[in-house]
Amino acid sequence: MSRTESNRKHFRPPFGHREALYHRALPARRSGPLYSAFSYPTKISPEAIALFISAHTKPGDTVFDGFAGSGTTGVAALLCEDPPLTLRAEAQRLGLGTQWGARNAVLYELGALGAFVGRTLTNPPDPLAFRKAAEDILRVAEAEDGWMYAAKNPEGRSGVIRHVVWSDVLECPTCRRETTLWDSSVSLDPARIASLFTCGRCALEAPLDKVERVTQETHDCLLGTSRTLRLRCIGRIYGSTGNKSWSRDATQQDISLLNRIEVESIPDTVPRVAMPWGDLYRRGYHAGITHLHHLYTRRNLIVFGRLWQRTASYNAEVRDALRFWLLSYNASHATIMTRVVAKSGQRDLTPTSAQPGVLYVSGLPVEKNLILGLRRKLSTIARAFAVTHGRKGRVEVRQESSCRIHLPDGSVDYVFTDPPFGGNIPYAEINFINEAWLGRQTNRAEEIIVSNAQNKSVSEYQRLLTIALSEVRRILKPTGMTTLVFHSASAEIWNALRGAYTDAGFHLDCAGILDKTQGSFKQVTTNGAVRGDPVLLLTKRAPPDTKSASPVWTIAERLRQEAALTNDPSERSAQRLFSRLVGHFLARHQPIPVDADSFYRWYEERCADELSEGASS
């Protein structure tokens, strides 16, 4: 054995230094080509995961993730071979004493989409071959389908549509006049979407949710039946001529173009599948949406179907990469779930993506130019493939349940995982849009979530999670450790997690915070949302004696006072303090005593008391 091989075999990371990963909040930035290549719920940046992998393993070790999502743990394992300078600098700053080098990874993901994304991103084709194929497809699409996005600017010069804002049609409750949501509630310069409906005829003002949406019955050519759906009209068209952007109201030419598109045939590649609605179904804005194709305008359905069709002529490796690229834009930008927002200080509305974690359809859905959007996305994906292509580490992605892991006992050196957060996101329902195009669906029977639609209670969630974590413990080496990232505002869900890992034979060594710089839609908007995901380090060692519990508000006040001494404002936020409170009780092997919303009410009262005391002194 060579000296190098001997050093690698006996090398163990200086685990006394790894506490830096858990002692303070570790930033996990949501940017860069690897993170931005494919949007996926609750994703963690691979650079942040690579720090954990490098601190807990040595080169050649095997990492496992049983809830792999879009495969970022596998990407992180690949990064350890030759990390970017920023990652090296962060490891040095934290004093991790990392030995960089290739690691291997085995990823289990129940979801069909997640497994496809993870497999493609960790085992991509040659980036140059991919880029050439994608550019060829765009060139053909522009030549054959570009006319569907043709438009003239306000001066009558030829241009191209960038996006179209459609608008629900409303009926005034008083005078029964029909008008669009755009005309009744949108104003520009500055951009504003009012929460009130204002009738242009009788001047009635009413909350939007009290105003009836106009519906129409139309023939569905794919199903051969009629359906009732919300009536929509064009609110405004945004385009460009040369290098100049413009916007205007719809003209008769725009209507004529839509009529021409109406007689174009739908490609055979378009899935004819019903939406398996579950927890995310809303009777209002999902009215009339019974099948996948109802989430698209006819124009974008035809263009996307033809793009998908053109990928079939390539070999499997390049074809999967091309479909990865198409799907990266599909659910988030190609459907009527795409929307506009009114940003402070902006003259016009800003188009954005679909809201992550939900299947929301706004009253002002956006139809984007798919050819332009995919051209922009191409560079990001090509750069991501360039990072992961040709690495020495092996990443194996299996679309299987973690309740049955087909690996030998004690064969894994380290586990990094973030299991589903209770009922926070129904992944299979969210991912169905893209999975339908792949022709693969997630088996929801073993999806570990809390779900009314699937009749899965918190106890069922805990039961399935216990089975999965027991399997994780079985395949982990005796000295191996598991880093588990979790997020919930519910004490009941936290206690279900605690019961699951305890019953599986794991014990908490320490807890920290992973500070995502931008939360998902639900993490930002849900009542009692938590900022910063607690990170738990689990071991197979026997637990220490349980420490006696102090009253929850005594602990909360102590944490608040400790945070007041720091220079980091985020540490003093109610959301961060709740995460610290969760870590405190878990580290002492005690149940979580309060939900986030109860904690936040206490926090507001304490702040109000301090202001009152300050004013009277």
| 60 and 187 belong to one structural domain | no
The rounded average pLDDT for each run of 10 residues, N- to C-terminus, in the chain (617 residues) is: 40 56 80 91 90 96 97 97 93 90 98 98 97 98 98 97 98 95 95 94 92 95 95 98 97 98 97 97 94 98 98 97 98 98 95 94 98 98 97 97 98 97 92 98 94 96 98 97 94 96 94 68 39 88 67 91 86 90 89 92 85 62
Q: How far apart are CA 534 and CA 540, in angstroms?
A: 20
| 507 and 539 belong to one structural domain | yes
Which pLDDT does position 526 carry in this prediction? Answer: 42
CA 299 to the chain's CA centroid: 26
Task: Examine the fold and report which residue of 492, 519, 543 is the final residue of a domain before the chain moves on.
Answer: 543
| 177 and 297 belong to one structural domain | yes
Which pLDDT does position 607 carry in this prediction? Answer: 83
| 402 and 290 belong to one structural domain | no
| 204 and 153 belong to one structural domain | yes
Which pLDDT does position 547 carry in this prediction? Answer: 63
Task: Examine the fold and report which residue of 508, 523, 543 is the final residue of a domain before the chain moves on.
Answer: 543
| 232 and 338 belong to one structural domain | yes
Q: Classify residue 235: in a domain, yes or no.
A: yes
Q: Classify residue 20: in a domain, yes or no.
A: no
| 374 and 511 belong to one structural domain | no
| 599 and 488 belong to one structural domain | no
| 341 and 410 belong to one structural domain | no
Range of the domain at 273: 132-378
Q: Classify residue 164: in a domain, yes or no.
A: yes
**b/e code 28-54 from CB counts within 10 Å (16+ = b):** beeebbbbebbbbbbbbbbbbbbbbbb
Q: Classify residue 97: in a domain, yes or no.
A: yes
Q: Which residue is it, tokens 């699951």? A: 500
Task: Examine the fold and report which residue of 333, 355, 378 is the final residue of a domain before the chain moves on.
Answer: 378
Q: How far apart are CA 42 and CA 45, in angstroms?
A: 10
Is 328:70 a contact under the CB 8 Å cutoff?
A: no
Which pLDDT does position 7 carry in this prediction? Answer: 39
**Alpha-carbon distance values, 436 to 220, 229, 318, 374 (Å):** 19, 22, 20, 20
| 414 and 555 belong to one structural domain | no
Q: Classify residue 3: in a domain, yes or no.
A: no
| Three-state SS letters, 138-155 | HHHHHHHHHHHHEEECCC
| 535 and 565 belong to one structural domain | no
| 410 and 265 belong to one structural domain | no
Which pLDDT does position 424 carry in this prediction? Answer: 83
Which pair of structure tokens corresponds to residue 515?
């500070």
The set of residues, in sequence order, having a beta carbon less than 8 Å from that of 195 and lying 6+ positions away, is: 185, 207, 208
> How many domains is the chain built from?
3
Q: Classify residue 16: in a domain, yes or no.
A: no
Q: How far apart are CA 537 and CA 578, in angstroms?
A: 18
Q: How far apart are CA 190 and CA 168, in angstroms?
A: 22
Q: Classify residue 397: in a domain, yes or no.
A: yes
Q: Classify residue 231: in a domain, yes or no.
A: yes
**Domain with 535 in it: what CATH number?**
3.40.50.150
